[in-house]
Amino acid sequence: MTLTATEPLSTLLRDGSKAEHTSAEGSSFMSVMLEGRISPEGYTAYLLRLQRVYTALESVARRLDGDPIASAVIDPALERSAALAADLDHWAGPDWREIALESPATQRYVERIEASSSWGGLFVAHHYTRYLGDLSGGQAIGRILGRAYGLETTTGVEFYAFDAIAKPKPYKDAYRARLDALPLDGAERQRILDEVKVVFGLNEAVFSELSADLDRWTR
């Protein structure tokens, strides 16, 4: 059944993807990481995957700059690739770019991000799922990891520090308002929701891949 254009898009995306969101968050790797028991090597493996994902997201954002749909959410203040590079410098040293990453799940995710450049609405789905999630839970995760690794500053967990966004809640409210103002018909809204569900599945696949090596990464 084709959706109507009456329900706010932000509400539709949140409520329509709850099952996929919950499933993606339930990975063994994430559970152990939130307990502060992932080794630095395991955390580095996680960061390497994120670095590829965010490099792709921000590359596509450059291509879609000025797109009537994607431009509603694109904002350099959200970008994470530089923070991830700094974190990898901390955990893996300056030669981290030479580390070979064998991650089919990450490759599939990056390819899907690249494909989202075909329509701004698809990119919105990827942007919303990653960045709004980072703003919603990232600060808490950063504090957990900071304590677990004995970090006195955000060095090593820069990924979770949004220095350019003073107050996350008002920012998220404004972000959702921009989503809701997009002039989309029911079929387009459904297409974005479907892509959000796909994105959660791609994230879950990355976590499943990491969970397969949990025994050697749990401290």
Instruction: Note the CATH architecture for domain 9-211.
Output: Up-down Bundle (1.20)
Which band of pLDDT confidence, cut at 50, 70 and 90, is reported for residue 4? low
Q: Please report the pLDDT score of residue 93 as a whole number.
A: 96
Average pLDDT, the chain: 94
Average pLDDT over residues 52-60: 98
Whether residue 5 is predicted with pLDDT greater than 70 in this model: the reply is no
Q: What sign does the dihedral 159-212-126-101 (CA atoms) show?
A: positive
What's the pLDDT tens digit per position in 196-217? 999 999 999 999 999 999 999 9
Q: Please report the pLDDT score of residue 138 as a whole number.
A: 81
Q: Please report the pLDDT score of residue 219 as a whole number.
A: 87
Which band of pLDDT confidence, cut at 50, 70 and 90, is reported for residue 8? very high
Average pLDDT over residues 155-176: 94
**Tokens representing residue 63 in the block:** 């291509």
Task: Report CA-CA distances (Å) from 129 to 113, 122, 126, 146, 186.
Answer: 12, 11, 5, 24, 20
Q: Please report the pLDDT score of residue 41 as a whole number.
A: 94
Closest Cα partner for 106 from 29, 54, 52, 55?
Answer: 52
Whether residue 132 is predicted with pLDDT greater than 80 in this model: the reply is yes
List phi, psi (to 5°) of 39: -70, 160
Boundaries of every domain in the chain: 9-211
Q: Which of these ranges, 41-50, 55-64, 130-139, has the smallest mean pLDDT?
A: 130-139
Which residues, 6 or more positions from 190, have their beta carbon under 8 angstroms from its beta carbon?
2, 3
